[in-house]
Amino acid sequence: MLHDPKLNKGTAFTAVEREVLGLDGLLPPRILTEQAQAERIIADLRRRNTDIERYITLNHVAERNETLFYRVLFDHIEELMPIVYTPTVGEACESYGHIFQRARGLFIGARDRGRIAHLLRNWPESDVRVIVVTDGARILGLGDLGAHGMGIPVGKLTLYTVCAGVHPHSCLPITLDVGTDNVRLREDPTYIGLPQPRLTGKEYDDLLDEFVSAVREVFPRALLQFEDFGNNTAFELLRRYRDQICCFNDDIQGTAAVALAGIYSALRITRQPLERQRLLFFGAGEAGIGIAELFTAALVEGGMAEAEARQHCWLFDSQGLVVQGRTELRGHKLPFAHAHAPIADLAEAVRQLRPTALLGVSSRPQAFTRPVVEAMAAANERPIVFALSNPTSRAECTAEQAYGWSSGRAIFASGSPFKPVVLAGRTFVSGQGNNAYIFPGVGLGIVATGCRRVPDVMFAAAARRLSECVRQQDLDQGCIYPPLRRIRDVSLQIAVAVAELAFARGLANVERPADVLAWLRAQLYDPEYPQYA
């Protein structure tokens, strides 16, 4: 029991438990409460010099005492979320081979064709309800990290538990190790994955087909979340499998929902209607297209024709403004390629298009230069500037830059956290437009109802509910998202919205309870030690 993190209580085993379970002499004599243990852990974390040291220390806790790990996170969510997830998880993935201690998920490799279902059955839990899977192709804004991308599914599922109360034993992180095109990793002796180029074409497609079929067979009640796949595969995988299995892509749909929620909240400050917004996306990959599509859907829901709604979204990629006539455009960009002269400079694009909101989803740090922000401020009394790329090192600009270059008029949000900014005697607390506000609550609603499919309307509902959770005192500080300390309440509210949709659309596999909120709350995991004797 001392070596199984799911059973271990460490020094919290009582005297009776120690005698009955044969643990006498195997533990120090003093018996500590779970709370006392948690206080010792958080004190130890605060003594560490760097966030990556804190990440490693927390991993060690998870590997020996799962309940204590979650107790520490539950009690200190605002302080520790940046450690277990972005931005620190990015650094952890980059050095994953150096800090690797113990596998906390499944690795399914390019050589495992024909036996993927067998590998899934090796997982010790039979009732898996949430799977987060990556192929490591596009980890945050860091690029191809291959098998070292496992830190992302592990981190995401940690947030499912901490933010939305999904039981950790129901969660399964998976990395599809299809190789890596990162030559530096392939030549690194500490790399834990297959040191070979990535699978492509039919070999890749066949592996994914077998994987999805195996998930349906072995874990038929599981929600499958695609995470950090490359732009060249993410859209196609979502299109191919969304009607075959209960699944979604967080980079496309989750990012879209959190960004749309930020727009809704920002409009409570600008007091402008949604239909008067013009969005300019710096970056035209999964996140940018996902946001543009969901924003378009919101305008259509409000009565606007789809063709007109798409005209409210403009894309700017590595070649400049996405316009009609560009011959190299991929299919997912074409619906947002409008008639306009080419523009290669972002600041000039802002000056000509006069967008009300500028959204950075490019992973290009410091792309929002002073001329860009000043152009936004010249075009808008309250310019909306979202630097959403993760981790912090990849943000398009900092909170201090956005506020300083706009004379404090910008409505700013970022993917990773920034400290409050003091400008001209006023304190600005920027919002963190992190997907953690969306996917845990969406997942809880899906898992609780046994939802069979995940339509886009669920993410639209999640965006509206998240915006409704922002209080006036948050907006008064410039913050368009709720504080992280409230994220469990927010996730529960989002789960209610998702569950109500599942019931209304006939997608649920359970009867609708009289009180959906109370029903969901009763299912939440709480990290309390069991009594063994």
Spot the catalytic one: 9, 55, 70, 85.
85
Residue pair 406/377 in contact (Cβ under 8 Å)? The answer is yes
Task: Give which of 440, 523, 421, 525 is closest to 484, Cα–Cα.
Answer: 440
Three-state secondary structure call for residue 108: strand
**Does the annotation mark 85 as catalytic?**
yes
Three-state secondary structure call for residue 19: helix
Spot the catalytic one: 156, 191, 333, 481.
156
Cα–Cα distance for residue pair 85/4, rounded to 1 Å: 24
Tracing tokens 């009582």 back to the chain, one arrives at 14
Contacts of residue 516, Cβ cutoff 8 Å, sequence gap at least 6: 496, 499, 500, 503
**Does the annotation mark 202 as catalytic?**
no
Amino acid at 71: R
Phi, psi of 340 (to 5 degrees): -170, 155
Amino acid at 352: Q
Task: Give which of 94, 82, 53 is closest to 415, Cα–Cα.
Answer: 82
Task: Give which of 171, 167, 159, 185 is closest to 130, Cα–Cα.
Answer: 171
Q: What is the dihedral of CA 519, 522, 523, 524, to 10 degrees?
A: 130
Residue 4, CA distances (Å) to 9, 31, 62 in order: 10, 19, 10
Pairing of strands 421-423, 426-428: antiparallel
Cα–Cα distance for residue pair 463/450, rounded to 1 Å: 21
**Beta pairing partners, 426:** 423
Catalytic residue list: 85, 156
